[in-house]
Amino acid sequence: MNRFETIAKNLAEQIRAGHIPVGTTLPSLRQIIAQYGVSQSTVLRAYYLLEKWGLVRAEERAGYFVAPGAAVDEIALTEETEAPKKVDISDLVFSVLESTRHPDIVPLGSAFPSPALFPSARLLKSLVAGTRSLTPLSTVEDLPGSDHLRQQIRRRYVGTGFAVAPEEIIVTNGALEALNLCLMAVTRPGDVVAVESPGFYAALQAIERLDLRAVEIPVDPVSGLDLDALQSALKQHPIRACWFMPNFQNPTGTSLSIEKKRALVEMLREKQIPLIEDDVYQELHFSRDRPLPAKAFDSEGLVMHCSSFSKTLAPGYRIGWATAGRFADKVRRLKLMTTLSACIPAQAGIADYLEHGGYDKHLRSLRLSLQIQLEQMEIALRKWLPSSVKWVRPDGGYILWLQLPQSVKAMELHALASARGISIAPGPMFSARHAFQNCVRLNFGHPWDARFESAIGSLAEILDDPSVHH
């Protein structure tokens, strides 16, 4: 860890523990320089990091203040990771997802941003143009993925500042299939896989389905994946693969720093362990530049980078990809054996859109909408919810991870909210141990309106109900 990151982490811990209360100023530049023996620029970088994490706010001439909503109780990081275990998560996840599907429900628990934010008319135009351009032989020649689309995907990597080989890219039915195929390519039944905790439930479902075992690596809502815990888990367990989300992690919204991404890739390279990188929110960054994936630091083809157009452009088209490094052949074969190919008109349509449709312009507008919606949700949360409810503002994506008081039972909260027509994603969905009983994930991917405002008010009322508390 860099010095400025150490300083930022120490200050973050003091803030979260309440030692530096909301509204007070941070220790002065001079104090920190003296305490750590570092330069002024190092301290400024630490402050900048704290600001990025949403913990402090800079006010001109007055210095850095601790921001409202900053004090998140730390999630217990176990020194020893627990023994790998079989996973049993699907019933819980399906019962929650079922309850959120009705069109009349307020979709705070949804996993998608609102399709109203996407350019569906322009995309249909590309679907028609792309489909018209297909030759009769396209269905045979392009298996398992369209060359045109793979070229377009490759160009976006170049735009981020690094290159991938076209043969590395396998077009899939959404990122979900990409992640599943990558996992299948590098594991056998009984193998141990490291996942994030809290983490995306689909990873847990895949592990359950393939008879694998999971080791959960803690994710801190401020600094992200705990690399020390990962290091110790690598020593303790025969980990065969990792499934992580370094950018805007689901469900915490946190990202790894460049330094931590580099360290993560290096740590896994030493043991030659493949990393399945879920990067579906990569284009939804609020800061100026698209964050690099861990894949950018992968010199040996060990990182399988998975993403899609489902969260940014075309949710129903089911087009994603895996850039699978040295495992590309294996992933391609698994694709051919299980689903053969993604929908060919949909591939042609997205390729045409990427070339002619104005994707970057659309993305700028989408990111702005998401930031405004986040602001609106935070205002409502501050207005309605008790100050004991904490969160860390994410720097991208469309989900917010709320930490409620320890007494709250999120599953009860989910049940009562559901009865009132509001979906939320309760914390236990995101853990093989059904932990995070006092957490919920909220979706701010929908244009804010009175329904959402009123739903937040209802959640506050439900939180007053004694039956949702231990």
Smaller CB separation from a copy of itself, 111 or 292: 111
Nearer to a copy of itself, 180 or 197 (CB): 180
C-beta atoms surrounding 207 within 10 Å: 25
Closer by beta carbon to a copy of itself, 175 or else 404: 175
Least distance between a copy of itself and beta carbon 212 (Å): 11
**Number of other CB atoms surrounding residue 407 within 10 Å:** 12
Cβ proximity to a copy of itself: between 310 and 403 the closer is 310
Distances (CA, A) of 162 to 6, 168, 335, 449, 457: 28, 14, 26, 40, 46
The distance of closest approach from Cβ of residue 29 to a copy of itself in the complex, given in angstroms and rounded to an integer, is: 50
Both tokens assigned to 363: 């993305």
Is the Cβ of residue 165 or residue 336 nearer to a copy of itself in the bound state?
336
DSSP string computed for 55-106: SEEEETTTEEEEPTT--PPPPP--SSPPPPB----HHHHHHHHHHT-STTSE
Q: Among all chains, which residue has been given the structure tokens 């990569």?
A: 282
Class of residue 163 by CB neighbours under 10 A (exposed 0-12, middle 13-18, buried 19+)? exposed
Region for 292 from its dihedrals, namely left if φ exceeds 0, alpha if ψ lies in -120 to 50, beta otherwise: beta
User: Pairing mode, if any, of strands 239-244 and 275-278?
Assistant: parallel
Q: How far is the CB of 351 from a copy of itself (least distance, A)?
A: 13
Q: Which residues are within 8 A (CB) of 292 and not within 5 positions of it... i.e. 6 or more apart?
A: 160, 161, 162, 258, 261
Tokens read off for 167: 């043969």
Q: Min. distance of Cβ 84 from a copy of itself in angstroms?
A: 18
What is the spatial distance between Cα 195 and Cα 276, in angstroms, rounded to a whole number? 10
Query: Could you tell me which residues come within 8 angstroms of residue 468 by beta carbon, excluding any fewer than 6 positions away?
Result: 408, 409, 412, 413, 416, 462
Residue among 252 and 308 whose Cβ is closer to a copy of itself: 308
CB of 189 to a copy of itself, least distance (A): 5
> Which residues would be at the binding site for a copy of itself (CB under 8 A)?
90, 94, 97, 101-103, 107, 110, 112, 114-116, 120, 124, 127-128, 131-132, 134, 136-141, 143, 173-174, 176-177, 180, 184, 188-189, 202, 205-206, 209, 211, 315-319, 333-334, 336-346
Quote the CA–CA distance of 410 and 404 in Å, as a whole number: 9
Residue 453 CB, shortest distance to a copy of itself, in Å, is 20
What's the closest the beta carbon of residue 6 comes to a copy of itself, in angstroms?
A: 40
Query: Which tokens sit at 403?
Result: 């930490």
Nearer to a copy of itself, 66 or 111 (CB): 111
Q: Give the nearest distance from C-beta 411 to a copy of itself in angstroms.
A: 20
Minimal distance, residue 306 CB to a copy of itself, in Å: 13
Residue number with CB closer to a copy of itself (182 or 389) = 182
Per-residue b/e over 375-395, b at no fewer than 16 CB within 10 Å? ebbbebbeebbeeebbbbbbb
By C-beta, is 184 or 239 nearer to a copy of itself?
Answer: 184
What tokens were used for 42?
A: 């190092």
